Structure 1
Amino acid sequence: MLAELVKTTTSDGVRLDGALHLPTAELTSQVESRALPEAVVCLHGVGSNFYGGTMFEELAPRFLEAGVAVLRVNTRGHDGFYIAHTTGGPIRQGAAYEKVDQCRYDINAWLTFLTGRGYQRIGLLGHSLGAVKSVYSQALEAHPAVSHIVAMSPPRLSYRCFQHDLNSARFFEAVKTAEQHVEAGQPGALIQVRFPFPLLITAAGYLDKYGPDERYNIIEYVNRLPCPALFTYGQLEVEMGSTAFAGVPDAVRERLSQPGSAVEVISQADHNYTNQRPALADVLLRWLDGFSATNR
């Protein structure tokens, strides 16, 4: 699958890289008649990147066959740790150092890149934390070119819920460690946590993402979305008992406000949709194809 390696710079000066896959001209002509997005931006989860993850690699051909361009991108939270190129010089970045709120700069930069290439109707396609970012960014700072949001397995980042998780002891341990570093004047200290999974992250970053302010609890943003959204979850991740996913499909469904929005639970799928990605692609494209030009 051929791709053009591309780059952009965010409004706060961070360089980001990606890969743009283009459908054939014949397939592109189908998009307008079927009212599909002209392009989708693929947003990776925690510590992943545009070139290493297999999910978007498998989904991309299905979108290209439908005539939709695919832009697989890095956000500043890609990989665990790296040295980022910025207009102010090199800085430490990656999942260990990002703040989720900064996704607004990253996503806007990629949307500006695509609109500069002539795309006027763009979908956001995010997985895991990338799905959280797609919802959060558009609820707070909607971009006029975004016509659809597809949020695949966005976790509920809720301090209140995590207190009742089966692994809440690990959560309390991580919060205590983070708070101790912040109180000691070391917000940038890296800590190794075990909740919600093993992760190296700054003390301030952990509290920002998982702390009592609940800044990124997607349930609070669903009814603020400016365009139709599809939320998907794997049956297995919903049933496994984690408070990040248990009951979330129903909670999201109750708050959907945009016409055409939906929630789908993919049978026998885990968080990464292992062995169920063809079924996932069917659901995504069927939902997108269900819109007529009058729905825009």
Structure 2
Amino acid sequence: MAVIPRPKTPGLARISTELVTIETADGWVLDALHYPARESRTVLLHLHGKGANMLGVQARFLPEMLPTVAHLSLNMRCHDLAYNTDRGDRPVAGGMYERLDDGKVDIAAAISFLRGEGYELIVVCGHSSGGYYAGEYGVTGDPVAGRVLLSPLFTNTTALGWWYPGDGELEAALTHARALVDTGRPDEIIALPSWYWAISARSLLERAAQPEGLWLDAVNRDSSPVLMMWGETEDRNAAWSGLLAQIDAPAVGGPIDGSDHWYGGYETVVADAVAGFVSGLTGVPVAVRASE
């Protein structure tokens, strides 16, 4: 597999955006940043990873580098490890309380919003757990034109081994979580040694019960083309290479030589690849704004 070379880091540019609110089918109101593009009926829907938000990673640099297509960057419920707002009219959700199916509902609401804005071609572009949702969304709702998967999370069980590495530790934690759920305390927080630092009992059980291979099966339920990239220095480099080869839809991509999970210094590589991918979908060249 060809390794993508390192580019120069782009300079900063001033771009215009608007804050919009999007209501989900289950009553949540999500913030999003909309970057319109004159006469463009193509839009990239950006999904962030766990603990991130609508201003991070590809959603930070692609709107300025690809100004001839529109962008919508969504604050999903898991943004900034969000948690209960202490308002009596809102249930606990997002972040450490997140239910995995919430992501599909959030994406469906964003796609519905974009259709209402008149966009014809929607390309979902997700990083890390945003890449999990971009792939897992599949054809469960309004079909998308293409999917950009950037260092995608492909299982929610990985962190279990980080949190509970010792013999019997995981089973003890799950037994405790089941007891909390059985006694009507599913949202009670369990402390963790890393990453989340805490997770609800119900969310821990949901992750532990997720079957292996679920994500790839979901990706393969959708025939829309895929661009998949990741940092060559990431510890899942080999796993992503194997997954890319198993995607049934037309799929391109590969590792970015020297990059880590955040693509700092490699923004132009990502922008060039996404521009070429979108151009292939639309038949219209997508210009990349040069570094300043």
Establish whether TM, by shorter chain, passes 0.5. Answer: yes
Q: Which runs of 5+ in 2 are unaligned?
A: 1-14, 285-292
Q: Does 1:286 align with 2:276?
A: yes
Distance in 2, matches of 1:215 and 1:84, equals 33
> 1:266 — aligned with what?
256
> 1:115 — aligned with what?
115
| Percent identity over paired residues | 25
Q: Does 1:151 align with 2:155?
A: no
Q: Which runs of 5+ in 1 are unaligned?
A: 32-37
8 Å contact kept, 1:171–1:194: no
> 2:176 — aligned with what?
180
Query: What secondary structure, in the 3-state scheme, does the structure 2 residue paired with 1:91 have?
Result: coil
* 1:14 aligns with one of 28, 52, 68: 28
8 Å contact kept, 1:3–1:19: yes
8 Å contact kept, 1:15–1:84: no
Q: Does 1:75 align with 2:65?
A: no
Distance in 2, matches of 1:166 and 1:105, equals 29
8 Å contact kept, 1:151–1:232: yes
Q: Which has the higher helix share?
A: 1
> 1:48 — aligned with what?
52
Query: What secondary structure, in the 3-state scheme, does the structure 1 residue paired with 2:273 have?
Result: helix
8 Å contact kept, 2:83–2:96: no
8 Å contact kept, 1:170–1:194: no
1:18-97 correspondence runs (5 A): 18-25=32-39, 28=40, 38-51=42-55, 53-64=56-67, 67-83=68-84, 89-97=89-97
Moved over 6 A (4+): 165-168
> 1:34 — aligned with what?
none
Higher relative contact order, chain-length normalized (CA < 8 Å, sep 6+) = 2
Shift of 1:284: 1.7
> 1:220 — aligned with what?
217
Shift of 1:228: 0.7
1:40-70: CA deviation from partner (whole Å, max 9, x where unpaired): 111111022214x254111211221xx2101
Q: Structure 2 vs 1, CA of residues 171 and 214 (structure 1 numbering), >3 Å: closer, same or farther?
A: farther
Whichever residue aligns with residue 243 of structure 2, its letter is V
1:170-249 correspondence runs (5 A): 173=169, 176-184=172-180, 185=182, 186-194=185-193, 197-209=195-207, 211-214=208-211, 217-237=214-234, 240=235, 245-249=236-240
8 Å contact kept, 1:158–1:217: no
Query: What secondary structure, in the 3-state scheme, does the structure 2 residue paired with 1:92 have?
Result: coil
State the Cα RMSD in Å.
Answer: 2.9
Whichever residue aligns with residue 135 of structure 1, its letter is G
The TM-score with structure 2 as length reference comes to: 0.81
